Amino acid sequence: MLLDGVALRLSGRVVLEGLSFSADERRIGIVGRNGSGKTSLARLIAGLIAPSAGQITIAATDMARDRKAALRSVGILFQNPDHQIIFPTVSEEVGFGLTQLGHDKAEVARQTGAILQRFGKGHWADAATHSLSQGQKQLVCLMAVLAMRPALIVLDEPYSGLDIPTRRQLMRYVDRVEASVVLISHDPATLMGFDRVIWLDQGKIRDDGPAARVLPVFEAQMRAWGEEDDLTHLAG
Ligand SMILES: Nc1ncnc2c1ncn2[C@@H]1O[C@H](COP(=O)(O)OP(=O)(O)OP(=O)(O)O)[C@@H](O)[C@H]1O
């Protein structure tokens, strides 16, 4: 993944500015305060929006120019699975992306079955998506993304709203993902051991390095800001 002079303006407002870095690590975390630009960066990386300036290249694909290749190379998991799930049954949901990739019906069924089996959820195939719990829905979304075998998956706060056991379970699943992972999280504990953590602050990179170095500095700063009564630091 290569970002070269990336900037993003939305409604005349500078949301991201001067982002240039190359990242080939398998596990990359993104941290930062509310409104620092994390979700916007996730959407850029996944090719859902185009930068106002600069370029994002992933697996030799210019994400803004080649939408079809972008769809193949990067998958994104949103914070709220209800914003992602559109089909009535689990197998339809998981199979949708595969159909989009051009596979025929039999192949879609085969690959959908295979991914459900891999997660020990073969019995979910005909389950109604609306009847699943939040954590189960999140897992369906993860399976749907992984079924497309992207080189990179972007997870935007996938653990918020999950109880501790469900969170740990999902973290273990994410841990086993072969694709490279970009994980946005407000909880430093979920990024422990990551190869790299990028700290965004007001749309710029404030720090960038191994999790073991960046996370303690980030946490200390978050605590310090949390002690202040003055909310002028609040983004927005
Ligand atoms: N469509 C838009 N038009 C104008 N400003 C926007 C738009 N979308 C986001 N922003 C602004 O861009 C900034 C970054 O938003 P973004 O959602 O990327 O932050 P974030 O770090 O993901 O925040 P959070 O941790 O709260 O999810 C915010 O100040 C937000 O108000």
Name the token pair of 34.
């509310």
Please give the Cα distance from 104 to 20 (Å, whole number). Answer: 40
Q: Can you read off the two tokens belonging to residue 69?
A: 């290749």
123 lines ligand 1 (CB under 6 A): no
With a 6 Å cutoff on the Cβ, whether 97 touches ligand 1 is no
DSSP 29: E
Atom of ligand 1 nearest to the CA of 15: 12
Question: Is any atom of ligand 1 closer than 6 Å to the C-beta of 39?
Answer: yes
The residue extents of the domains of the chain are: 2-83+146-233
Contact 236 CB / ligand 1 (< 6 Å): yes
| Partners of 10 in the β-ladder | 13
CA 150 to chain centre: 12
d(CA 63, CA 49): 9
CATH number of 2-83+146-233: 3.40.50.300
Q: Which atom number of ligand 1 is nearest to the Cα of residue 235? A: 29
Report CA(91)–ligand 1 centroid distance (Å): 33
92 neighbors 109 (Cβ within 8 angstroms): no
CB of 11 within 6 A of ligand 1: the answer is: yes
Residuewise pLDDT in 10s, the chain (236 residues): 999 999 999 999 999 999 999 999 999 999 999 999 999 999 999 999 999 999 999 988 888 888 788 888 999 999 899 999 999 999 999 999 999 999 999 999 999 999 999 989 999 999 999 999 999 999 999 999 999 999 999 999 998 888 888 888 889 989 989 999 999 999 999 999 999 999 999 999 999 999 999 999 999 999 998 888 766 655 55
**For residue 24, what are the contacts with CB-CB under 8 A and spacing of at least 6?**
1, 180
Say which DSSP state 191 is in. G
Q: Is the CB of 12 under 6 A from ligand 1?
A: no
* Pocket perturbation via mutation, ligand 1, pick of 9, 10, 225 by most ligand atoms within 8 A of CB: 10
Ligand 1 atom nearest 12 alpha carbon: 4
ipTM above 0.85, yes or no: yes
Cβ of residue 234 lying under 6 Å from some atom of ligand 1: no
The DSSP H or E segment spanning 172 is helix 164-176
Ligand 1 atom 12: residue of nearest CA: 15
pTM of the model: 0.91
Name the closest-CA residue to atom 8, ligand 1: 10
Is 235 near ligand 1, meaning CB less than 6 Å away?
A: yes
∠ at Cα 86 (77, 10), nearest 5°?
55
Give 150 Cα–ligand 1 centroid separation in angstroms.
26
Distance in angstroms (rounded) separating the CA atoms of residues 160 and 164: 10
The dihedral through the CA atoms of 90, 91, 96, 101 has a sign that is positive
Whether 15 lines ligand 1, by a CB cut-off of 6 Å, is: yes
